[in-house]
Amino acid sequence: MNTLMPHFCEIVRDRIYFPRTKKTIPLHEIIMLQGEVNYSLVYLRNGRKILIPRTLKIFEAILQSYGFVRTHRGFIINCEHLLRIDKIQDFVYLTNNLQASISRRRRTEVSRRLQLVA
């Protein structure tokens, strides 16, 4: 069991477990996380969205070693759900018709990380 933030959440057998609410989300079900001020909107494969009262910075630290990449100040994507990259307009296209922008400053880091995954 890998405890990263014991009071908020932990990764257990490729699932995010939230002890306070006793909910789990399988990592492979998460397509993307979008930041909304001090909240994170989690997009799931079945089309549901879950609003979690934590910033993307916390999720970035937790999910970085599980194939997730921060592409922009407001987005973290799951590389398993990546369909294509539009380098001209700086967008990544994901399953369920979702898209996330790539910031100028993160462009090289995102390219490097996505090449390692592919």
> Domain containing 60 — which CATH number?
2.40.50.1020
3 band by pLDDT with thresholds 50, 70 and 90: very low
Residue 25 lies in a domain: no
Does residue 64 carry a pLDDT above 90?
no
Residue 26 lies in a domain: no
Residue 10 lies in a domain: no
Total structural domains within the chain: 1
Residue 77 lies in a domain: yes
pLDDT at residue 116, as a whole number: 65
Q: Strand, coil or helix: what is 82?
A: strand
**pTM (global) more than 0.75:** yes
Maximum separation of any 2 CA atoms in the chain, in Å: 43
pLDDT at residue 21, as a whole number: 83
Residue 79 lies in a domain: yes
Host H or E run for residue 107: helix 107-117
Does residue 102 carry a pLDDT above 90?
yes
Residue 71 lies in a domain: yes
**Cα–Cα distance, 83 to 56 (Å, whole number):** 22
Q: Which domain holds residue 73?
A: 32-117
**Cα–Cα distance, 32 to 27 (Å, whole number):** 10
Report in angstroms the alpha-carbon separations of 53 from 56, 67, 99.
10, 22, 22
